Chain A
Amino acid sequence: MDSNSNSYSQLQNENSSLPDFIRNSSSQRSTSSIQSFHSKASGGHSVKEDARLVYINDPEKTNEKFEFAKNSIRTGKYSILTFLPRNLFEQFHRVAYIYFLVIAILNQLPQLAVFGRGASIMPLAFVLLVTAVKDGYEDYRRHRSDNIENNRLAWVLVNDQFQQKKWKDMRVGEIVKISANETLPCDMVLLSTSDTTGVAYIQTTNLDGESNLKTRYAKQETQMKNPEKEKISGLIKCEKPNRNIYGFQANMEIDGKRVSLGPSNIILRGCELKNTSWALGIVVYAGGETKAMLNNSGAPSKRSRLETHMNREIIYLSIFLVVLCTIVSVCHGAWLRRHKDDLVLMQFYRKKDYSEPKVDDYNYYGWGMEIFFVFLMSVIVFQIMIPISLYISMELVRVGQAYFMIRDDRMYDKASNSRFQCRALNINEDLGQIKYVFSDKTGTLTENKMEFQCASIGGVDYSGGKAISEDEQTGYSLRVEGQVFRPKMKVKVDPELLSLSKQKHTDEGRHVHDFFIALAACNTIVPLTVETSDPALKLIDYQGESPDEQALVYAAAAYGFMLIERTSGHIVIDIQGERQRYNVLGLHEFDSDRKRMSVILGCPDNTFKVFVKGADTTMFNVIDRSLNSNTVKATEDHLHLYSSKGLRTLVVGMRDLSASEFEQWQSSYERASTALMGRAALLRKVAYNVETSLSILGASAIEDKLQQGVPEAIESLRNAGIKVWVLTGDKQETAISIGYSSKLLTSKMTQIVVNNNSKESCKKSLDDALVMCKKLTTDSDATRRGSGARKTEIALIIDGTSLVHILDTELEEQLFNLSSKCTVVLCCRVAPLQKAGIVALMKNRANEMTLAIGDGANDVSMIQMADVGIGISGQEGRQAVMASDFAMAQFRFLVPLLFVHGHWNYQRMSYMILYNVYRNAVFVLVLFWYALFTSFTLTTAITDWSSVLYSVIYTALPTIVVGVLDKDLSRTTLLRYPQLYGTGQRQESYNGKLFWVTIMDTLWQSIAAFFVPLLAYWGSDVDRSSLGDLWTIAVVILVNIHLAMDVVRWYWITHAAIWGSIVATFICVMVIDVLPFLPGYWAFFHIAGTKLFWACLFGITIAALVPRFVVKIFIQYFRPDDIQIARELEKVENSRESRDAEIEMNPIFDPPRR
């Protein structure tokens, strides 16, 4: 039964050239295909020189040379001592903080001290403190969970006895004993298990989320040994710790023999042992070097496109800042030059210091230095020109947006009880700009829940199955000693076939009988009994690696052929209430060459039969057509029918083996399975010999169910102008059929298929396709001009083999040109890395936003490559989720995610960036204008504290509240008109033009805010502090009213934030002015007592905002964008509704949804 070959050892070189995931693009073919692959290319040499040497049961020797990591884990970043320096160091990785710091340091120099020392450090200190507290708390939680984990206990062999040891004290080389249902503390190579054949079942839910059982094997060489009685010694050479959880290369020297070890011999930390009462293993990787821990790193950080664009604008702003500073400093220099002879006597300059005995220049360093100092000082004063606080508010806003996305009721999946997850916090707004969606098929578009649909048995099609409703029929169940056994999943049955399956003696009945025996036996499924709340009822849960096989076994059970027990030597099938024991004499596992598997059974009536099931393409080669050609013909027709419905088909055949044939097979099988060299090749040869001249039993059709709402979602996405590409590992026919059922492909589309084996033929078919494309589009252009017909839509279908020749060559360009003309692209048979390659192709060349969505380990590279990666937290595992930026349970949630949240996030964030730039620039410009009236010396009328508090208290909250809460359009409108999504794709809410318009507006507003008071108070006895207070308040009111003008939806929170900020500003200004040690003592109360003050405030607000208002209404009236129209539609409909409601005297509110 041990199907591992000894011969495939040491193939590192062959393997390392392959990407890690290719070897398991689907869990279905994991172990067997790897081994066959290995055995094909034999002849490598021992594991590389830098291998890890593990001496079995000798941790001292193992750790002698190199100290391998202990088994304690540390996910916490800091210790108490290192917290402060490390945390500060990490925080200062952000450019924003460096900027803050440099400015604060500059301000500490006595020559440059513009602001008070406290005032200049406070904002930085505040931000650092908040972040440090947050980081510290997170780290504390990590430490706590580490502690719990490290102090768990496990049985470890010490001095030939198993003793309990804490996890953290375990070392590489020790032998560990694990009991059933225990979690593995580290990565270990299996030595022996409670099963005589050395099988252990493990569940890898914690590792990759797959809940089915996987089989792992102990080597026969170690299986027989009992370490407590006899000393085991040996040496394992294995590869260095790495992240590949599906790969393991090693060999073991034991008793002078050399045995090779593969991924099926290792069990990893985090897995659970199931169905096996105990297992012994030797620790090879521990602690931080285990594969689980190495995979624990988060998703790579991505940067949102808006932020990238913003950085360009930030550069403009920096240039602007430098220009302002240059103007001030150069003018200051000129002023000094002009007055250079007067400086000594000028009362307000007085160059000389007479207080020292030696009269010297006071604070004067020559006009060159003065210019330089003034430049630096102006940088300090105008520092908020670079809206550094924007980065912090953006983070806060994203947290708020994430909060709402996670809480969204409409993105909660009841079936899996999972919410939407935000794993990356910095690309929320990218969700509003997606142009390409790359989707995996299995598990993403489909549920990856295979359901037996219909069968063709003996040339007759049975597809009249009906869904069983709960009360109508409970499905097949079995009674043994008062206990009821029932399959866990219900399958709809065809009544005709059900009655046939009960007849034993007709010809048809026998045929059906054999067919279902084949379904029940020819697989690697393990039945498990699960207790239920009802003690008399037990469910049978079929566990296996292939969902197709599960579906088939459930189907067989539904028709009364219930698989009850499987050991390595026999299976027990309950056939219509009768227990039958079949000896499993041999099993030829599935491999990708044969595309079939077979099992040789010793039947209760002492006959030998071989049952084979496999893909139609290879099965018809080994079916003897002469036996019953009509049946074969009919089956082929049915197969065609099934696959056109998008069903997955398998053909089943069988043959009776005569005694001589059986003996011949048995001897060669035994020889092959004990061979030391080329075992897999020999086994395959044996399989080829026995899988011939089969008689056809029939074919099964399994539905790969589409997830709920997928066709509708795809249609919406398409309406929104998003191009949906499907990248799948499945074969072309399946992919196309799913394409049809998901409405990705329609019959109106012209299909272009690229399916080639060489570079030349690829080039040719791409060229042809391009020509055809051009022809079609020009044709349709012509017809459209004539009749207004729709544009011809083109679908490109391309397979992985062709992509091998296209990606990374000069043909890429052609593929890009072709695919950008196509509405739909379907890539089938693609390897995981190719998926990433295609995403990269579109991302880099089209310069559009890409989104990848997938659920399996094979989608990881694509998810990480795309601008936005979404993991489906469903059936296949957590790998995709771990690598993703967002995770959700269903494909259809993409629609609310993109159209609603993505749109909102984009709109909010775009506006917030523009507004923050404006907000800070207005303030800086007011300071700048004043600098022109202070002989360019950067005195500020506005107090230091107000300058500092401006972006922290006076104006910070409203923009965050609006950024989190404001909605330009309601959810219903956005979902009703998917086209509204185009706003984000076309970057209508944030672009260079809007930026410059904002800057012009800023310029005018700052002029109004500064010059109205200046001219109104010109030549009066107003003092600096009073006028400064007026400017402060004017700017704050202006900036808040500006925001208020652009708010679409006024919640009470918005009201509170905006008006509250203005009130807070008044309070702060008053507080600053009641401190008698500041020069501005009581200034506010004096100036606020004059009517001129209020007249100025009122005038500024109106005068500054009129141009903006006029432009806004002109655009809204003459060139309304889609959002504007949709908003009006909302309003119009609302008022219509309320009018209707009034007539009916029956007010309709939003129906409470609960």
Chain B
Amino acid sequence: MNSNTPSTSAGGTGSADSTAPRRNSKRPKYSRFTQQELPACKPILTPKWVISAFLLVSVIFIPIGVVSLFASRNVVEIIDRYETDCIPLDSRNDKVGFIQSPQDKTCNRTLTVPKRMKQPIYVYYQLDNFYQNHRRYVKSRSDQQLRNPGKEDDTSSCDPEDTTADGMRIVPCGLIAWSLFNDTYDFTRNNQPVTLNKRDISWKSDRDHKFGKKVYPKNFQNNTLVGGARLDPSKSLSEQENLIVWMRTAALPTFRKLYGKIEVDLQAGDVINVELQNNYNTYSFNGKKKLVLSTTSWLGGKNDFLGIAYLVVGGLCFFLAMVFTIIYLVKPRQLGDPSYLSWNRNPGGR
């Protein structure tokens, strides 16, 4: 028997006190949050609520619809599409050839004012089918270069219009600037020139912060292919408002850009002569060019869509409110009727 032999170790290490029971309760601390009993609002769609909601929507929507339709109707708009008419008849077979040729492209248009137009009258050019939102196009610009004179070399994003053929940096670089619209319009009424204000047609924020006051055009339109207007190298970019307007690329393939403002009222029946230089090539992709004179309303330009949409939605909601009222009267269902519960409807069958 060796029950008491190795005495060196008998219970020597008193480390095993882990058996001491721990009496701290693990009971979850009670709070309304942990028990998911937070106070809550639980709205329920009673017929009353539903009907009032529909009525409320129609009460709001129909007046807004009417008002905006009126606003849109009150806008006077003169649209003159000229891209075909401004090509001499003999050149119409080769429009692209004509537009690329150096000959004189002056074109006279006559507009009649249908209704009295109050100043300011906005003069827009409208391009159709011109994808200013094309991926190649949109990316081809350098915002750093535009605002910072030190970042002149930042043309990496401007392909394929970053440098001239001999490697000089272009300012402003990129396809957008390169393709600057270059038709020009001059207005006369009764042989009196109508002054066109071309200042403040761009966003002030752009002039102040986005286009540098010390950035001047360099090597612009010096390449083989000229895309559009040239810029005055002595004027800083922040003063070149037509460029600034153009550089705010349009969202949609049919768009208008502000050309200038006429700051006198035009009377109904006034005849306005426009002498325009038809320089811009939209013929290569069948793009339309239009000249637009328009007043504005509180809601913007002439567009009936929103007014109609509001009227339709408002009317629909009114109709639905009626339908629901009828249903509610004809076939009422008591809320919370236990007999509708599936196991009460067909007992036994699961």
What is A's interface to B at a CB cutoff of 8 Å?
Answer: 152-153, 155, 161-162, 164, 177, 179-183, 192, 194-196, 224-226, 228-229, 272, 277-278, 339, 342, 345-350, 352-357, 359, 362-363, 403-404, 406-409, 412, 414, 417-419, 721, 784, 790-791, 933-935, 937-939, 941, 965, 967, 971, 977, 979, 982, 1012, 1014-1028, 1048-1053, 1076-1079, 1081-1082, 1085-1086, 1090-1092, 1095-1096, 1099, 1102-1103, 1106, 1110, 1112-1113, 1116-1118, 1120-1122, 1125-1133, 1150, 1153-1154
Q: How far is the CA of A518 from the CA of B44 in the complex (A)?
A: 70
Provide a sorted-by-A list of 20 A–B residue pairs whose CB atoms are within 8 angstroms. Answer: A153-B15, A179-B12, A179-B16, A183-B18, A194-B4, A347-B227, A348-B136, A349-B136, A407-B28, A408-B34, A934-B134, A937-B131, A1021-B250, A1023-B248, A1024-B132, A1053-B38, A1082-B205, A1091-B298, A1102-B317, A1103-B309
- Which residues does chain A contribute within 8 Å of B313, judged by CB atoms? 1099, 1102-1103, 1106
Distance of B164 from chain A, by nearest CB (Å): 7
Distance of B162 from chain A, by nearest CB (Å): 6
Contact of B36 among A164, A721, A941, A967 (CB under 8 A): A967
Q: How far is the CA of A290 from the CA of B135 in the complex (A)?
A: 64
- Which residues does chain B contribute within 8 Å of A1099, judged by CB atoms? 61, 306, 309-310, 313
Contact of A1024 among B13, B64, B249 (CB under 8 A): B249
Considering only CB atoms, which chain B residue lies closest to A374 in the complex?
B135
Contact of A354 among B3, B15, B160, B209 (CB under 8 A): B160
Distance of B213 from chain A, by nearest CB (Å): 13
Q: How far is the CA of A810 from the CA of B277 in the complex (A)?
A: 92
A1128 touches B135 (CB 8 A): no
Contact with A along B160-177 (1 / 0, CB 8 A): 111111010000000100
Contact with A along B332-350 (1 / 0, CB 8 A): 0101111011110000101
9 cross-chain pairs, A with B, having the tightest CB-CB distances, nearest first: A1128-B336, A353-B160, A347-B179, A937-B135, A1082-B205, A362-B160, A407-B34, A1049-B40, A345-B284
Interface centre among B4, B28, B42 (most CB of A within 10 A): B42
B15 touches A941 (CB 8 A): no
Would you call B316 an interface residue if the criterion is a C-beta within 8 Å of the partner chain's C-beta atoms? yes
B45 touches A1024 (CB 8 A): no
User: What 20 new A-B contacts, CB under 8 Å, besides A181-B16, A1021-B255, A1077-B143?
Assistant: A152-B15, A179-B16, A226-B6, A228-B5, A272-B19, A345-B96, A346-B284, A350-B136, A363-B159, A1012-B309, A1016-B305, A1017-B251, A1019-B256, A1022-B252, A1024-B251, A1050-B42, A1079-B138, A1082-B205, A1120-B333, A1130-B42
Contact of A179 among B2, B10, B249 (CB under 8 A): B10
- Which residues does chain B contribute within 8 Å of A1023, judged by CB atoms? 248-251
Distance of A792 from chain B, by nearest CB (Å): 11
Would you call B101 an interface residue if the criterion is a C-beta within 8 Å of the partner chain's C-beta atoms? no
B252 touches A1050 (CB 8 A): no
Q: How far is the CA of A352 from the CA of B175 in the complex (A)?
A: 12
State which size class the interface on B falls in: 35 or more
A414 touches B27 (CB 8 A): yes
Contact of A226 among B5, B255, B343 (CB under 8 A): B5
With A348-B136, A356-B165, A939-B133 as known contacts, state yes or no: A162 contacts B6, CB within 8 Å: yes
Contact of A196 among B3, B13, B335 (CB under 8 A): B3
Considering only CB atoms, which chain A residue lies closest to B141 in the complex?
A1079
List CB contacts (< 8 Å) of B245-290 with chain A: 248-258, 281, 284-285
Distance of A777 from chain B, by nearest CB (Å): 12
Would you call B242 an interface residue if the criterion is a C-beta within 8 Å of the partner chain's C-beta atoms? no
B303 touches A1016 (CB 8 A): yes
A278 touches B42 (CB 8 A): no
Considering only CB atoms, which chain B residue lies closest to A1024 in the complex?
B251
Would you call B301 an interface residue if the criterion is a C-beta within 8 Å of the partner chain's C-beta atoms? yes
- Which residues does chain A contribute within 8 Å of B175, judged by CB atoms? 347-348, 350
Would you call B82 an interface residue if the criterion is a C-beta within 8 Å of the partner chain's C-beta atoms? no
A162 touches B338 (CB 8 A): no
A339 touches B305 (CB 8 A): no
- Which residues does chain A contribute within 8 Å of B338, judged by CB atoms? 1125, 1129
Contact of B252 among A278, A403, A1018, A1079 (CB under 8 A): A1018
- Which residues does chain A contribute within 8 Å of B11, judged by CB atoms? 179-180, 277-278
Q: How far is the CA of A193 from the CA of B27 in the complex (A)?
A: 41
Q: How far is the CA of A1112 from the CA of B96 in the complex (A)?
A: 58
B350 touches A1020 (CB 8 A): no
Contact of B342 among A406, A791, A979 (CB under 8 A): A979
Interface centre among B1, B6, B163 (most CB of A within 10 A): B6
A194 touches B210 (CB 8 A): no
Q: How far is the CA of A866 from the CA of B173 in the complex (A)?
A: 67
Q: How far is the CA of A1017 from the CA of B303 in the complex (A)?
A: 8
- Which residues does chain B contribute within 8 Å of A180, judged by CB atoms? 11
Q: How far is the CA of A1050 from the CA of B38 in the complex (A)?
A: 10
Distance of B115 from chain A, by nearest CB (Å): 20
- Which residues does chain B contribute within 8 Å of A1016, judged by CB atoms? 303, 305-306, 309
Considering only CB atoms, which chain A residue lies closest to B168 in the complex?
A355
A1132 touches B256 (CB 8 A): no
Distance of B320 from chain A, by nearest CB (Å): 6
Q: Per DSSP, are chain B's interface residues mostly helix, strand or loop, or mixed?
A: loop
Contact with A along B28-69 (1 / 0, CB 8 A): 111000111111111111010010000001000100100010
Q: How far is the CA of A768 from the CA of B126 in the complex (A)?
A: 88
Would you call B224 an interface residue if the criterion is a C-beta within 8 Å of the partner chain's C-beta atoms? yes
Considering only CB atoms, which chain B residue lies closest to A1080 in the complex?
B248
Q: How far is the CA of A1143 from the CA of B3 in the complex (A)?
A: 82
With A181-B19, A357-B165 as known contacts, state yes or no: A1078 contacts B143, CB within 8 Å: yes
A1020 touches B337 (CB 8 A): no
Q: How far is the CA of A353 from the CA of B338 in the complex (A)?
A: 76
Distance of B310 from chain A, by nearest CB (Å): 6
A419 touches B159 (CB 8 A): no
Distance of A600 from chain B, by nearest CB (Å): 25
Would you call B322 an interface residue if the criterion is a C-beta within 8 Å of the partner chain's C-beta atoms? no
A226 touches B2 (CB 8 A): yes
A1049 touches B41 (CB 8 A): yes
Q: How far is the CA of A938 from the CA of B165 in the complex (A)?
A: 30
Distance of A410 from chain B, by nearest CB (Å): 8
B251 touches A941 (CB 8 A): yes
With A934-B135, A937-B136 as known contacts, state yes or no: A1129 contacts B143, CB within 8 Å: no
B42 touches A1015 (CB 8 A): no
Q: How far is the CA of A786 from the CA of B188 in the complex (A)?
A: 98
- Which residues does chain A contribute within 8 Å of B47, judged by CB atoms? 1117
A1106 touches B316 (CB 8 A): yes
Would you call B25 an interface residue if the criterion is a C-beta within 8 Å of the partner chain's C-beta atoms? yes
Would you call B239 an interface residue if the criterion is a C-beta within 8 Å of the partner chain's C-beta atoms? no
Q: How far is the CA of A252 from the CA of B335 in the complex (A)?
A: 79
Contact of A1076 among B1, B68, B209 (CB under 8 A): B209
Considering only CB atoms, which chain A residue lies closest to B42 in the complex?
A1049
Contact of A1018 among B134, B227, B303 (CB under 8 A): B303
B134 touches A196 (CB 8 A): no
A355 touches B133 (CB 8 A): no
List CB contacts (< 8 Å) of B169-219 with chain A: 175, 178-179, 203, 205-206, 209-210
- Which residues does chain B contribute within 8 Å of A347, judged by CB atoms? 130, 137, 175, 178-179, 227-228, 281
B6 touches A228 (CB 8 A): yes
Q: How far is the CA of A219 from the CA of B126 in the complex (A)?
A: 103
With A404-B34, A1091-B299 as known contacts, state yes or no: A1081 contacts B13, CB within 8 Å: no
- Which residues does chain A contribute within 8 Å of B15, judged by CB atoms? 152-153, 182
- Which residues does chain B contribute within 8 Å of A1091, judged by CB atoms? 298-299
With A183-B18, A1106-B313 as known contacts, state yes or no: A982 contacts B342, CB within 8 Å: yes
